[in-house]
Structure 1
Amino acid sequence: MRSRDSARTPDDLVQALRAAGIGDERLLQAVRTTPREQFVPSNRAAAAYDDVPVPIGYEQVTTQPSLSAMMIESLGLDGDEHVLEVGTGLGFQTALLARLTADVVSIEMWPDIAAQARRNLAGQDIRNVELRIGDGSGGVPDLAPYDAILVSAAFPEVPVPLIEQLRIGGRLVQPIGPGGDEEVISFRRTSSGLVTVRLLTAARFVRLRGRYGFP
């Protein structure tokens, strides 16, 4: 992990991601060209290029950049995908996905956070994102099926609606656990359901709330 003294630019963050094992050059270029200081609260801007999570209100935090990058990399994106993101936050991960895919549908439960994310994305002229406010545990069925789904909150299993909204052969990544002690797992959908591709890492995430998540 880099200190605040050494990680002040996007290139510094890219170096931290390389050190964490991220090798997808398209993803690293997306990180390099997406100014994270525009996607964190202004009072946290000094930490924007440290590989650390940042509090954003409502007991929510951004995903640590190296962890976010690991989850994105596991989706095996090639640029043509229609992607669902559950948990927009302030939009940095959304922006990375938007630069790497055809389009992104992102759903956030907190209206104030979603409004700021919308402003942040507009400020970077990112236009291939459909941002919804609502219960992410149920996905966004009217825009399904998705080629890939990234879930940025924890639940002991993948919610059934998310499985149903993922096309056959599509990838899904989600932290599996009670909230605060998870295994981040990459899955692939087959005709008979989800199969585990691999365990990415242990991590701590906030809980996935909603009808198909925690109360």
Structure 2
Amino acid sequence: MRAEDLEALREHMLAVIAANAFALRDTIGKTAFDERVMMAMRKVPRHDFVPIELQPYAYANIPLPIGFEKTISQPFIVALMTDLLDIKADDSVIEIGTGLGYQAAILAQLARKVYSVEIIEEPGQQAKQRLRQQGCSNVELKIADGYHGWSEHAPFDKVIVTAAPDLLPPPLIHQLKAGGKMVIPAGLPNAQQLILAEKLANGRMTTKEILPVRFSQLEGTGSG
């Protein structure tokens, strides 16, 4: 596809995200996502993070298959999860479930450092290559079971999980800084909710259900 066609599709994607954010204003408590989040969504070429045959659909507001029985989330959900994290420029963020690296590339625009964990070798290696091509030098990636987080780089300011456990994984709660936020889909396969969890200064967690979602299940030791 020609660059100008992709550019037009990307602008349309941003308009759809903005409209959906406005529709969800009562839930998220504001009428629009943070401008830094929207700039990151504009800047990162989503078509470079999907299989080549799906590039024409890269900017549609739908999840797309990326192989390995995995999907790349719809753009609105990526923007919503990113916005809920409220990432600051000096934050250290861990992502569980790299896929082909699109969400990590968005995070890389906003945070000081992004640690991303992918359980399947092949997409993880592809993600490394794609992120390198985009110049995302502040992303460190490893192939491992993300349920356990990445303890040597903990604690993290923010945690984002792109696959759904039944319950919040204790290792990820443990690795979140006091005052930090976690965005995670959780629940049984047909009853998942996107959850914003915050760790208070005393270490206690508060959770807020944002909206029903459908994510693939979080693989690894923690899944039932």
Instruction: Tell me which interval the TM-score lies in, with the shorter structure as reference length.
Output: over 0.9
Answer yes or no: is 1:115 the counterpart of 2:135: no
Instruction: Determine the C-alpha separation between the residues in 1 that align with 2:188 and 2:117.
Output: 21
Instruction: Determine the C-alpha separation between the residues in 2 that align with 1:147 and 1:140.
Output: 13
Answer yes or no: is 1:176 the counterpart of 2:176: no
Shift of 1:7: 8.9
Answer yes or no: is 1:98 the counterpart of 2:108: yes
**Any idea what the Cα deviations from partners look like across 1:58-115, whole Å, max 9, x if unmatched?**
1110111101111111111121100000000111110000101101000001110011
SS state at 1:106 partner: strand
5+ long unaligned stretches in structure 2 = 22-31
Q: Calculate the TM-score normalised by the size of structure 1.
A: 0.93
Shift of 1:192: 3.7
The runs of at least 4 aligned residues of structure 1 exceeding 3 Å deviation read 5-8
Answer yes or no: is 1:45 the counterpart of 2:45: no
Partner of 1:144: 154
Shift of 1:20: 1.1
Do the aligned partners of 2:33 and 2:80 also contact (CA within 8 Å) in 1?
no
Instruction: Determine the C-alpha separation between the residues in 2 that align with 1:32 and 1:87.
Output: 22
Instruction: Say if 1:180 and 1:104 are closer, same or farther in 2 by CA, change over 3 A.
Output: farther
Answer yes or no: is 1:34 the counterpart of 2:44: yes
Do the aligned partners of 2:114 and 2:138 also contact (CA within 8 Å) in 1?
yes
Instruction: Say if 1:110 and 1:180 are closer, same or farther in 2 by CA, change over 3 A.
Output: farther
Partner of 1:17: 17
Partner of 2:205: 194
Do the aligned partners of 1:109 and 1:135 also contact (CA within 8 Å) in 2?
yes
Instruction: Determine the C-alpha separation between the residues in 1 that align with 2:116 and 2:189.
Output: 21
Shift of 1:180: 4.2
Instruction: Determine the C-alpha separation between the residues in 1 that align with 2:6 and 2:110.
Output: 27
Instruction: Say if 1:127 and 1:205 are closer, same or farther in 2 by CA, change over 3 A.
Output: same
Do the aligned partners of 2:121 and 2:143 also contact (CA within 8 Å) in 1?
yes
Partner of 2:74: 64
Instruction: Say if 1:120 and 1:156 are closer, same or farther in 2 by CA, change over 3 A.
Output: same
Instruction: Determine the C-alpha separation between the residues in 2 that align with 1:212 and 1:142.
Output: 19
SS state at 1:107 partner: strand
Do the aligned partners of 1:183 and 1:202 also contact (CA within 8 Å) in 2?
yes
Deviates more, 1:104-113 or 1:179-188: 179-188
SS state at 1:73 partner: helix
Instruction: State the one-letter code of the partner of 2:204.
Output: G
Shift of 1:6: 10
SS state at 1:161 partner: helix
Q: Tell me the number of residue pairs that the alignment of Structure 1 and Structure 2 aligns.
A: 209
5+ long unaligned stretches in structure 1 = none
Partner of 2:29: none
Instruction: State the one-letter code of the partner of 2:205.
Output: L
Query: Which structure has greater helix proportion?
Result: 2
Q: Calculate the TM-score normalised by the size of structure 2.
A: 0.89
**2:165 aligned to 155, 158, 161, which one?**
155
Instruction: State the one-letter code of the partner of 1:64.
Output: Q
SS state at 2:36 partner: helix
Instruction: Determine the C-alpha separation between the residues in 2 that align with 1:159 and 1:121.
Output: 27
Do the aligned partners of 1:10 and 1:33 also contact (CA within 8 Å) in 2?
no
SS state at 1:20 partner: helix
Do the aligned partners of 1:62 and 1:89 also contact (CA within 8 Å) in 2?
yes
**Any idea what the Cα deviations from partners look like across 1:16-68, whole Å, max 9, x if unmatched?**
11011142111111111111110000010010111111101111101111011
After superposition, the CA RMSD in angstroms is 1.6
